[in-house]
């Protein structure tokens, strides 16, 4: 019996080991919590003394990942401590997720306030000085029980009391100097999925409190916001770029900027039928693409996909697409570059004007190559000729590196060497790129 019990134990141990990260939720109680520092232990003991046994809760993202956050959050000398925990004893209707605040007096931590949180899990906690105010605002983001809805709260702390300035559901959140006045604002996006409506709101803090400066409707096509990033459209125009998925393999972008303190969003990419701009396609060939300063000029471009020549009549899952990069000029999207973009191999090739409509590409994944070919609109691929290949070589693959030894090197990243293979006679074609054109149009992502 002992032998059978030992074998059973080994099987269970092996299953847990093989499951790795995917089993993290089911073996949560077997994991060892992070070792607490001496200061954290002191705070933890005071927490237990004030509320009994608790389960510590850890922010899932952001710069502060500990359940214990020690920071000066008021106008008095010295730090305060904030601890997220889950309480077993709460009143009906109250959140079990709590935030306990501690203050230090005569070198000893003591609990001063217990706050019911606006969600069931802590997504992040951050700190900012909004507007021209010197006091520190605490921004806490939460997820709810269904894990799809999110809430945020803005608090400040004074006289040993946290004051909730604002609390709301949100889809995207960003602290940034959007109106370029030298002070940070908070931009919050809310989404009404039932009515397919998204709204952006801009907040700041003034002497009379937390103030909404402006709000504007967005495209309304977002099923879920994937990424919020900041950058410049021009030297004096800051912007926030909201990349989102529409579902069904389609993505888009909302671009938000200010005139004074008023928010403005031009017709979103993919939402204005008269603009002839379509949204981005995601399939096995085309990975998710985000806004980027693709040409490294300091200004952000917005990607839009369209089928490469020869792929227009194929179904969307079969399409290999070009990526056109747009900027915003006079509140309208204007095209800057037409390119091939490889999310798999992490490079882009900007097409010269003479390539548009007459050059296409195919993917040779077996050899880690993208093949660029001429294209005849009347004959299709039957009349095509190979121009060149760009090969992505894994630096850890000794055989592949040796085979690439005789090829022209375009560039390299930490993991990948990029080589060019030109077809016979390519240099005599009008479509051939000069050496400088090739170097200037090849971009490692």
Please list the helix, strand and coil fractions of the chain in percent, rounded to the nearest 5, in that order: 15, 45, 40
Rounded mean pLDDT of 259-286? 76
Give the integer Cα–Cα distance in Å for 68 and 54.
Answer: 14
pLDDT of residue 247: 87
All residues at 6 or more sequence positions from 153 whose CB lies less than 8 Å from its CB, including other chains: 117, 118, 139, 140, 142, 164, 166, 167
pLDDT of residue 297: 92
End-to-end CA distance of the chain: 59
pLDDT of residue 1: 42
Give the integer Cα–Cα distance in Å for 203 and 188.
Answer: 8
- Give the lowest-confidence range in 51-60, 171-180, 212-221: 212-221
113, β-bridge pairs = 101
What is the residue extent of each domain of the chain? 355-445
Percent of the chain with pLDDT over 70: 88
The total number of residues shown for the chain amounts to 445
Q: What are the tens digits of pLDDT across the range 400-429?
A: 999 999 999 999 999 999 999 999 888 878
pLDDT of residue 15: 43
Q: What are the tens digits of pLDDT across the range 59-84?
A: 999 999 999 999 999 888 889 999 99
pLDDT of residue 266: 86
pLDDT of residue 94: 66
- Give the lowest-confidence range in 8-17, 52-61, 241-250: 8-17
90, pLDDT greater than 70: no
pTM: 0.84
The overall average pLDDT reported for the chain is 87
């Amino acid at each position: 019996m002992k032998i059978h019990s030992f074998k059973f134990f080994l099987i269970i141990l092996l299953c847990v080991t093989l499951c790795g990260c995917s089993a993290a939720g089911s073996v949560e109680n077997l994991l060892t919590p992070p070792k607490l520092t001496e200061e954290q232990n002191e705070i933890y003991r005071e927490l237990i003394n004030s509320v009994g046994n608790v389960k510590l809760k850890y922010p899932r993202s952001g710069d502060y990942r500990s359940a214990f956050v020690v920071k000066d959050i008021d106008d008095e000398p010295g730090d305060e401590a904030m601890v997220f925990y889950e309480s077993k004893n709460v009143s009906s209707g109250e959140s079990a997720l709590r935030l306990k605040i501690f203050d230090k007096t005569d070198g000893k931590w003591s609990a001063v306030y217990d706050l019911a949180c606006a969600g069931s899990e802590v997504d992040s906690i951050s700190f900012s000085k909004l507007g021209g105010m010197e006091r520190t605002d605490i921004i806490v983001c939460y997820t709810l029980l269904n894990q799809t809805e999110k809430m945020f709260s803005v608090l400040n702390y004074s006289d040993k009391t946290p004051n909730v300035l604002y609390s709301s559901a949100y889809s995207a959140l960003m602290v940034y100097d959007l109106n370029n006045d030298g002070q940070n604002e908070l931009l919050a996006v809310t989404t009404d999925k039932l009515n397919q409506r998204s709204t952006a709101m801009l907040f700041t803090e003034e002497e009379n409190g937390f103030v909404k400066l402006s709000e504007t409707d967005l495209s309304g096509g977002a099923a879920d916001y994937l990424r919020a990033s900041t950058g410049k459209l021009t030297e004096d125009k800051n912007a926030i770029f909201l990349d989102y998925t529409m579902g069904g393999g389609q993505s888009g972008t909302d671009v938000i900027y200010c005139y004074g303190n008023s928010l403005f969003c031009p017709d979103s990419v993919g939402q204005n039928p008269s603009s002839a701009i379509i949204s981005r396609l995601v399939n096995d060939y085309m990975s998710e693409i985000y806004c980027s300063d693709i040409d490294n000029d300091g200004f952000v471009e917005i990607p839009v996909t369209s089928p490469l020549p020869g792929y227009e009549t194929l179904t969307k899952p079969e399409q290999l697409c070009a990526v056109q990069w747009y900027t915003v000029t006079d509140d309208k999207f204007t095209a800057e570059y037409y390119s091939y973009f490889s999310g798999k191999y992490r490079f882009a090739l900007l097409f010269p004007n003479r390539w548009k409509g007459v050059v296409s590409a195919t993917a040779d994944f077996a050899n880690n190559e993208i093949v660029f070919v001429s294209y005849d609109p009347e004959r299709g691929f039957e009349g095509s000729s190979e121009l060149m290949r760009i090969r992505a070589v894994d630096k850890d693959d000794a055989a592949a590196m040796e085979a690439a030894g005789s090829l022209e090197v375009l560039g390299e990243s930490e993991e990948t060497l990029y080589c060019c293979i030109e077809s016979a006679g390519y240099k005599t074609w009008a479509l051939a790129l000069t050496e400088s054109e090739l170097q200037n149009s090849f971009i490692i992502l």
